[in-house]
């Protein structure tokens, strides 16, 4: 039975275009996952139809992007109503979350041209990844080039937008190398909202060893970002990782991330209040799996993480963590699946967090699958939560870790390879949730633990491919949050969640070489008016010269994803890509 099940799984994996590795300990087809995971391919024509990685995340109604500006300057990612600190961001399975503050979690140190796919796990992921994975996990996956080629892209737009991007790939025998660089700047759609983004990436793959090197530099005007101040900020990120496949069942990985943050409260008077922060993280992991009788597989591994921050405001602090996990996975393709796992993560001298999970899936027939899961997650406070002080905010060194239990059940419908859908009902019960609160509009924001918060929600999505030329993607997420301790208290982040999000995306190919994508998103946040945004992107996908046009917020909607921070109005970017494959 074990051999037969393995053979069926191998054949199924080979036939699938996309497999999920973020929601399970082993790669499985998306339709076989008992956890809701969304996978988006990034390469090919999708790059010309997108400006940043946030364009891909915005197609899922359960992913709420709380941006402070265009082009992923400082994006808070929320999943199922979580705060930005409760979403874990990964790069090839390695942690990107910043120990200084969760506002920097999306500061990716790689160019979009180096990313192969993006996977989003909805719901708790602490059993797999540890701290921060309360609302969900976003995993950006890179891939070395498959062919030798050179690409150069340039574009211009309103608000003084100017872009240049270049990538070169080289492939020979079992060696491949990609170098990518991007430059993106703007004078700003309002005063003091200028920015300049730079990213450099190197991907190397040789005989089972993968090495990623990356750097990002982002100086930007931060008007309205943290209150009524004409602030300015510059963040830099350095990243290096190595992944070694030891054999078919064993792998080891190592990562280093350094992030610096220069923050000036008044851009015209930097001497009044200026902070300098430098955070470093080292992480390593060893993973292995074993086949057991009756088609069962055992996964186990150990991980280590060391964080350090040196700051003129926070002081100097370190935090080390170690974790071990084990999981049993029983799977009969197109019949049923069951997984049971547990992880213990230890930090400081004697404190630890236990994160169990159980998930199951069962096919009712060849088209319908039931699934359910229960899991526990946690988040350790960042050093900003614990120690930060400025004229408008103050941290608390007495904060307790956040804890949450998540429950969900769903039904997947796979009518064919061209038509599928799903519905999910979920609930998350949090204890000791961390937020910034104040008792009046003149008071300062104070880091606080909430005793109890509960989120209940519903997700529905469908994807249809029509005549191999049109892809229609529809999704809706409804959320209701409840807690009893906010009488007379204002919350800064927790109750910025959306009650309703609906997203419709349509993509088509015209004359076989023109790709067109339109996205409509409608959002109603808690106690705020609804708004809608329409974006249309088009590009030529063949030939040496490939022009493109990107039109965003065509309705010129006035809206804020974070209260008090205005977003750009109608904008356009036009340009072209020069693609030179090896002859």
Per-residue pLDDT band for 15 (boundaries 50, 70, 90) equals very low
Which pLDDT belongs to residue 13?
A: 35
Indicate if the pLDDT at residue 150 is higher than 70: yes
Which pLDDT belongs to residue 314?
A: 96
Write 240-248 long-range contacts (CB < 8 A, 24+).
240/211, 240/212, 240/213, 240/214, 241/91, 241/92, 241/94, 241/211, 241/212, 242/209, 242/210, 242/211, 242/212, 243/92, 243/209, 243/210, 243/211, 244/208, 244/209, 244/210, 245/208, 245/209
Per-residue pLDDT band for 510 (boundaries 50, 70, 90) equals confident
3-state secondary structure of 258: strand
Q: Is the Cβ–Cβ distance between 325 and 304 less than 8 Å? A: no
**pLDDT tens digits, one per residue of 74-107:** 899 999 999 999 999 999 999 999 999 999 999 9
What DSSP designation does 364 have?
Answer: S
Which pLDDT belongs to residue 368?
A: 96
Share of the chain above pLDDT 70, in %: 95
Q: What is the mean pLDDT of residues 326-351?
A: 90
**Non-local CB neighbours of 502 within 8 Å, separated by 6+ positions:** 61, 475, 476, 521, 522
Which residue range(s) make up the domain with 443?
A: 2-581
Q: What is the mean pLDDT of residues 541-563?
A: 94
Rounded Cα distance, 131 and 123, in Å: 13
How many CA atoms does the CB half-sphere of 135 hold within 13 Å? 26
Q: What is the mean pLDDT of residues 134-142?
A: 96
Q: Is the Cβ–Cβ distance between 122 and 20 less than 8 Å? A: no
Count how many domains the chain has: 1
Rounded Cα distance, 104 and 114, in Å: 20
**Non-local CB neighbours of 206 within 8 Å, separated by 6+ positions:** 174, 175, 176
Per-residue pLDDT band for 118 (boundaries 50, 70, 90) equals very high
Per-residue pLDDT band for 5 (boundaries 50, 70, 90) equals very low
- The model's pTM: 0.94
Per-residue pLDDT band for 442 (boundaries 50, 70, 90) equals confident
Average pLDDT, the chain: 91
Nearest Cα to 66, choosing from 84, 80, 50? 84
**Domain harbouring 182, CATH code:** 2.40.170.20
Which pLDDT belongs to residue 27?
A: 81
Which pLDDT belongs to residue 140?
A: 96
Q: Is the Cβ–Cβ distance between 220 and 194 less than 8 Å? A: yes
**pLDDT tens digits, one per residue of 249-308:** 999 999 999 999 999 999 999 999 999 999 999 999 999 999 999 889 999 999 999 999
């Amino acid at each position: 039975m074990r051999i037969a099940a393995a053979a069926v799984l191998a054949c199924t994996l080979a036939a699938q275009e996309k497999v999920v590795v973020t929601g399970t300990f082993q790669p499985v087809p998306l339709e076989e996952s008992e956890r809701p995971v969304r996978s988006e391919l990034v390469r090919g024509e999708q790059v010309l139809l997108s400006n940043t990685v946030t364009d891909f995340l915005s197609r899922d109604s359960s992913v709420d992007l709380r941006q402070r500006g265009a082009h992923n300057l400082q994006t808070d990612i929320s999943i199922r109503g979580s705060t930005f600190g409760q979403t874990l961001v990964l790069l090839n399975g390695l942690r990107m979350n910043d120990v200084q503050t969760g506002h920097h979690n999306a500061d990716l140190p790689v160019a979009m041209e180096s990313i192969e796919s993006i996977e989003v796990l909805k719901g708790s992921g602490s059993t797999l990844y540890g701290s921060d994975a309360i609302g969900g996990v976003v995993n950006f996956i890179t891939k070395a080039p498959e062919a030798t080629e050179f690409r150069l892209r340039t574009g211009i737009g309103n608000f003084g937008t100017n872009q240049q991007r270049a990538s070169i790939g080289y492939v020979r025998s079992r060696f491949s190398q990609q170098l990518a660089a991007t430059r993106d700047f703007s004078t700003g759609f309002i005063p003091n909202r200028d920015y300049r983004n730079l990213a450099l990436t190197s991907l190397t793959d040789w005989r089972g060893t993968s090495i990623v090197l990356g750097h990002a530099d982002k100086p930007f005007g931060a008007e309205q970002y943290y209150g009524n101040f004409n602030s300015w900020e510059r963040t830099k990120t350095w990243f290096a990782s190595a992944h070694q496949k030891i054999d078919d069942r064993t792998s080891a990985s190592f990562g280093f991330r350094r992030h610096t943050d220069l923050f000036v409260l008044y851009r015209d008077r930097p001497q009044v209040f200026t902070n300098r922060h430098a955070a470093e993280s080292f992480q390593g992991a060893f993973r292995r799996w074993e086949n057991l009788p009756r088609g069962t597989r055992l996964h186990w591994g150990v991980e280590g993480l060391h964080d350090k921050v040196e700051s003129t405001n926070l002081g100097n602090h370190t935090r080390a963590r170690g974790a071990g996990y084990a999981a049993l996975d029983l799977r009969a393709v197109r019949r049923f699946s069951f997984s049971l796992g547990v992880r213990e993560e230890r930090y400081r001298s004697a404190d630890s967090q236990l994160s169990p999970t159980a998930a199951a899936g069962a096919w009712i027939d060849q088209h319908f699958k039931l699934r359910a899961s229960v899991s526990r997650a946690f988040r350790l406070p960042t050093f900003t939560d614990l120690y930060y002080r400025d004229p408008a905010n103050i941290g608390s060194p007495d904060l307790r870790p956040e804890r949450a239990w998540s429950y969900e059940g769903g039904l997947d419908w796979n009518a064919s390879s061209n038509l599928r859908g799903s519905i999910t009902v979920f609930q998350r019960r949090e204890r000791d949730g961390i937020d910034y609160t104040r008792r009046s509009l003149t008071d300062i924001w104070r880091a606080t633990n909430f005793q109890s918060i509960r989120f209940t929600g519903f997700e529905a999505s469908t994807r249809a491919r029509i005549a191999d030329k049109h892809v229609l993607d529809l999704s809706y997420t409804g959320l209701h949050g409840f807690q009893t301790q906010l009488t007379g208290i204002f919350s800064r982040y927790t109750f910025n969640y959306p009650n309703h999000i609906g997203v419709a995306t349509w993509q088509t190919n015209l004359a076989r070489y023109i790709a067109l994508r339109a996205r409509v998103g409608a959002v109603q946040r808690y106690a705020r008016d609804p708004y809608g945004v329409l974006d249309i992107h088009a590009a030529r996908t063949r030939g040496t010269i490939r022009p493109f046009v990107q039109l965003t917020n065509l309705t010129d909607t006035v809206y804020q994803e974070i209260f008090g921070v205005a977003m750009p109005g109608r904008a356009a970017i036009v340009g072209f890509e020069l693609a030179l494959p090896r002859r």
